[in-house]
Amino acid sequence: MIDAATAALAHPAVAPGERFGLLDRRAEALIAEGRFADALLDAEAMRALAGDAPALQIPALMRQALVLMRLSQNRRALGVAEEAMALAEAGSDPVQRAAAVLCLAEAQLRAAAHDEALASARRAADLYQALGDAGGEGRAHWLLAFTCTRLSRNADSRQAAQRAVALCRQAGDSYGLANALNVLSFSCSDIQERLEVLRQAGQAFERAGHLYGRMAVLGNLSLTFAELGLWRHACRLGALCMAVSERCGATLNQVLEMGAVLKWQLDLGDLAGARKRWAVYDALVDALDEPVTRNDRALFGAELTAAGGDIDGAIRQLRRFLRQVRTDNPGFELYVQIPLARLLLQRGDAAAALRATRRGIACLQQRGFARTGFGQSQDIWWWHSRALAALGRHEAAWAALQQAHARMLVSVRNVPDEGLRRSFLNKLPVHRALVPAWLAEAQRRGIAEDQRLEHLRLPSSLADPFRRLVDSGLRLNALRSEAALLEFLIDEVTELSGAEHVLLVLQQGARRTVAGALMPGGEEVGALMAAVTPWLDEAADSREPRLRHGPEGVAAEHQRSCLVAPLVAQGELLGYLYADIEGAFGRFGDTDRDLLTMLCGQAAVALANLRHAGSLEAQVAARTADLREALERQTATAAVLSVISASVSDARPVFEAIVHKCRALFQVTDAGVAVLREDGLVHLEAHVGETEASSRVVGAYYPVPYAKSMQYLASRPGRCWSSPMS
């Protein structure tokens, strides 16, 4: 489309009306490809062509407003959209009026004028319904849903998003459908539903040929993997999203994702990495001067302060931010109360923590959150139960613990992939504490086994793990470095099994080295390596995987599952993979053993191929270097012989040729030819130094005995001299 429009626009005879339409279609295609700066040029050219004709001015202004929104210039976009709206209101075209209202609604949303956006989106929906335009009405409901999420009105957002999906499907509008599905994912309390909705959104953006939209879905997928506790995966997706956003000029998307990645670095214990990223992030938020990113920064800044050990400082930051939020954005309050309650408990102030959790629960109930973005709804109930328990109110603490457990189950109940479900249970700090507390208290209170162990007995399916295993094999073979392959293997094992600890050990001769690991916070790799070494020895002898459960004689939920699988390719032992999980979060079985064994087999073959290819490349490089050196020497020798044949009576050109060739061949800065005479004097025939001043006088005689002259010449650092001639 872009090439065709460009070719058509190159003809000077194109009529102004046709040129206007070509520019509009090309700008739309450029937006889809993320080429926002180019699209803005076309929008400006449309405005120039429109002149004083309102029928052309309105679409030109709307096109410019849409491009400015993608460039995160939201205030400027709002002004342009208001211009278009004024012209449309003065005109009599109902189609243009509906389009202008829709454009204005999106500009108001992007500029954080949420109440105005809500009113405009409703009006646009009514106008399009009167026109019988299902696609336009669907896009209006998408904006309604999006605005409701910004106002923390979860139920309204979900209803509007579902209506938008139905209308856009009816109209065959792939781009509208993709946007509607993306926003629908915001209100999915069920993680499996969210993953499926985002998958469909990505496919719809693909059909629409929309890179910018696919980038938005990528960002939301990163948030979902972070919600599962798979922060390394989330960071990889986040890095891709940031790269696309930066290339497109979509600064708002870039900054939103950068803040999330910074938070996940803290979750991974990478305080140094988060601090390093902070300076760039902080500057970008200042430059944007946009409320959503300012709010995020306040939260992440407090988390960064707490991670550095200053709990009191982080609490002061959150309390200061809380006063601002209550005035400017009440829907954001719950996001602040969750970390505030956690830090107050960490400081030992249970009474203040209880006040924070009570307020947070009131926000949760008022707003109807399906999930709370940077902390699930179960988080506030968990900290509420801990505050109550710390104050000795054990019955109320038990009631709050039940609420937290129930909400956790709602999020993961329909996730059929055991690896993802186990990760959700054991990697998020709240869940790592909540699950054992629930098991202990439920047992003490005589809760039935089916209810107490429900999170361990949810229905599972092997379809997703095996699909991922096939995909892993393809991706393993596409990797081009050993380091990337080993990192990928650790992440795949984690997602496939949901393991708490993952240890990857390479075997090279009699030596073993830890190539990578995934450990819960604060645990040392060395201690785990020492503990599992006897099992690695056994795997080295048997070359077979081994699954263990222990200690014996206790209930399954109190046992740890430990799995060791060797990495063997063509009979050669390349290493070992160790993974384990506590019974409170899941239990490895034969299927897990088989899945990880197959993955390790694929990884071993890919690793062997990489090493073989690297060895071949090294051999080729060495042989090429040898051939190049031999050729250079032959060339140098031929050049010297050529000088000799042309210099029958004068040896000076020969000596000079030798000196210059020695410098080139041996890559030195100082070279010379000295002749040892029969009387014991050394005669310098030719010499080139690093600088003119460092060159010695050619033709001088040096009364140095033969042996001492050789010792002297050989000791000169960084220089190469020809062999003495007798």
pLDDT of 589: 95
Assign 3-state DSSP to the chain and report helix, strand, coil percentages, each to 5: 70, 10, 20
In a 3-state reduction of DSSP, which class is residue 52? coil
For residues 489 and 567, state if they share a domain.
yes
Strands, DSSP E only, in 383-442? none
Q: Domain check: are 523 and 657 in the same one?
A: no
396 and 499 share a domain?
A: no
Domain boundary among 132, 161, 182: 132
Half-sphere exposure of 196 (CA within 13 A, CB side): 11
Q: Which DSSP helix (H) or strand (E) runs through 562? A: strand 560-569
Contact present, 541 and 568 (Cβ < 8 Å): no
Q: Which two tokens stand for residue 367?
A: 């707003």
In a domain? residue 546: yes
Residues 319 and 457 both lie in one domain: yes
Which run of H or E residues covers position 548?
Answer: strand 546-550
pLDDT at 643 over 70: no
> What is the percent of the chain where pLDDT is above 90?
69
Final residue of a domain: which of 562, 593, 615?
A: 615
Q: What is the pLDDT of residues 558-599, one digit of tens each?
A: 999 999 999 999 899 999 999 999 999 999 999 999 999 999
Kindly state whether residues 124 and 50 are assigned to the same domain: yes
What pLDDT is stored for residue 350 in this prediction? 98
Does a structural domain hold residue 152? Answer: no
- Of residues 292, 336, 250, the one with CA closest to residue 150: 292
Residue 201 CA, distance from chain mean position: 19
pLDDT in tens, 144-164: 999 998 888 888 999 999 999
Contact 608, 506 (CB under 8 A): no
Q: Please check whether residues 453 and 467 belong to one and the same domain.
A: no
Q: Count the Cβ atoms, other than its own, within 10 Å of residue 443.
A: 14
Residues 6+ apart with CB under 8 A from 285: 255, 259, 293, 294, 296, 297
Chosen domain end from 615, 636, 661: 615
Alpha helices in 151-190 (DSSP H): 154-171, 174-184
Both 539 and 597 in a single domain? yes
Structural domain contains residue 525: yes
**196-228 pLDDT, tens per residue?**
999 999 999 999 999 889 999 999 999 999 999
Q: How confident is the model over 679-697, as pLDDT tens digits?
A: 655 556 666 665 544 444 4
424 and 431 Cβ atoms separated by less than 8 Å: yes
- For residue 563, the cross-strand partners are 547, 579
On whether residue 214 sits in a domain, the answer given is: no
What's the 3-state SS for 487-524?
Answer: HHHHHHHHHHHCCCEEEEEEEECCEEEEEEEECCCCCC
Q: How many domains does the chain have?
A: 4
Domain annotation covers residue 215: no
Q: Which residue has the tokens 């390394």?
A: 232
Are 497 and 450 in a shared domain?
A: no
Question: Is residue 294 a contact partner of residue 285, using CB atoms and an 8 Å limit?
Answer: yes
How far the first Cα of the chain sits from its last, in Å, is 80
Cβ partners under 8 Å of residue 439, min gap 6:
452, 453, 557, 584
Residue 327 CA: distances (Å) to CA of 285, 539, 693: 21, 62, 76
Give the integer Cα–Cα distance in Å for 409 and 450: 14
383-394 residue pLDDT tens: 999 999 999 999
CATH number at residue 314: 1.25.40.10
Residue (of 382, 384, 402, 381) closest to 393 by Cα position: 384
**How much is the mean pLDDT over the chain?**
88
The answer to whether position 584 is within a domain reads yes
pLDDT band per the 50, 70, 90 thresholds, residue 630: low
Choice among 89-103, 372-386, 574-588, 702-716 with the minimum mean pLDDT:
702-716
Token code pair at residue 44: 């400006």
Contacts of 444 (CB under 8 A, 6+ apart): none
pLDDT at 86 over 90: yes
Determine if residue 543 is left, alpha or beta; phi over 0 gives left, psi from -120 to 50 gives alpha, anything else beta: left
pLDDT of 713 reads: 47
Q: Which domain holds residue 486?
A: 463-615
Q: pLDDT at position 716, please?
A: 46
pLDDT greater at residue 333 or residue 355:
355
Residue 522, pLDDT above cutoff 90: no
Are 473 and 440 within one domain? no
Say what the pLDDT of residue 721 is. Answer: 42
* Cα torsion 387, 391, 394, 395: sign: negative
Indicate which CATH number applies to the domain containing 656. Answer: 3.30.450.40
Check pLDDT > 80 for residue 407.
yes
Does the residue 191 lie in any domain? no
Longest Cα pair distance anywhere in the chain, in angstroms?
115
pTM (two decimals): 0.79
Tell me: do 505 and 365 sit in the same domain.
no
48 within domain boundaries: yes
Greater confidence, 444 or 373? 444
Does residue 668 or residue 520 have the better pLDDT? 520
Q: For 463-489, how does the pLDDT look when each residue is reduced to its tens digit (9 = 90+)?
A: 878 787 877 777 887 888 899 999 999
Q: What is the 3-state secondary structure (H, E, C) of 218-265?
A: HHHHHHHHHHCCCHHHHHHHHHHHHHHHHHHCCHHHHHHHHHHHHHHH
Amino acid at 643: V
Same structural domain, 519 and 479: yes
Round the CA-based radius of gyration of the chain to a whole number and report it. Answer: 35
Helices and strands (H and E) in the chain: how many? 30, 9
CA nearest neighbour of 325 among 292, 365, 361, 284: 292
* Cβ contacts of 256 within 8 Å, gap of 6 or more: 219, 292, 293, 296
| pLDDT given at position 150 | 87
> What's the token pair of residue 126?
């009514």
Do 317 and 455 reside in the same domain of the chain? yes
- Of 45-49, 303-307, 327-331, 528-532, the range with the lowest mean pLDDT is 327-331
Tens of pLDDT, residues 93-135: 999 999 999 999 999 999 999 999 999 999 999 999 999 999 9
Summarize the confidence of residues 13-25 as an average pLDDT: 92
Q: Dihedral sign, CA of 327, 343, 224, 68?
A: positive
Q: Which of 116, 64, 126, 135 is nearest to 94 (CA)?
A: 126
pLDDT, residue 707, reads 45
